[in-house]
Structure 1
């Protein structure tokens, strides 16, 4: 497995997305921000945080928030509802959305090595070490 290398010019932490562009409701944006910070903290602690993972982290946050929204709706009306036109019992569309969000989140957690089972499998991000030269780079900066 290849090791990930930190990108120069930053602390290796991807910038938090503008949740206002994705979620219309303030509670959803607040939940997304809390999930983002939690995931970033988890990945940083496991030394697996890289800017290259920012889009995967964003998709994971969207899956979490979508799951939460869907779960609330399923709790209101149940996993099975009567179809409006026929009255025949059918799966609640929110149940399907919740199930899909759960599957997406599980796959992304595995990909990012977030779940405890996967933590040991992913590569750690190597921090670039700047070598000090004799003279502290004085001659390089003078010319």
Structure 2
């Protein structure tokens, strides 16, 4: 006898509309960003599901984590292209790039969200499993069982 797993309500989180969250850009980069966001969302949700810590309330936190990853990727690209130290626009004095600051802020945001979601290996053991509610059996369910059998 084999059993088939049936996903009930609350076992998954609805993926955001990336087209609404990531607007079209003049450089055409929006398609790559949306694809990256989808890939990261899928990876994170799968990891939470495997650890049995996925719950509907995690959706907004996962969204913030994905957006932090995107911010980090964008900032890294600019820092690698322009350098961590740039010249100030008016005074031409060397200064730390605002993209370097954004890169660090996005990394800190992602790190704290990973900790809260228990995604890093050190915190994984402390994560509590999501308690699924048992299905409530009603009189109508009993009636249907008798009629079908």
TM (norm. structure 2) is 0.82
- Aligned-residue RMSD, C-alpha: 2.5
**Match of residue 130 from structure 2:** 125
In the TM superposition, residue 23 of structure 1 has moved relative to its aligned partner by 1.4
**Match of residue 49 from structure 1:** 54
Higher relative contact order (CA 8 A, sep 6+): 1
**Match of residue 23 from structure 1:** 22
How many correspondences in the alignment? 134
Do structure 1's residue 14 and structure 2's residue 13 form an aligned pair?
A: yes
Residues 23 and 133 of structure 1, relative CA distance in 2, 3 Å threshold? closer
Q: Point out where structure 2 has 5 or more consecutive residues left out of the alignment.
A: 1-7, 24-29
Say which is worse superposed, 119-128 or 82-91, in terms of deviation: 119-128
Q: Find runs of 4+ consecutive structure 1 residues off by over 4 angstroms.
A: 131-136, 139-142
Q: Point out where structure 1 has 5 or more consecutive residues left out of the alignment.
A: 1-8
Do structure 1's residue 70 and structure 2's residue 75 form an aligned pair?
A: yes
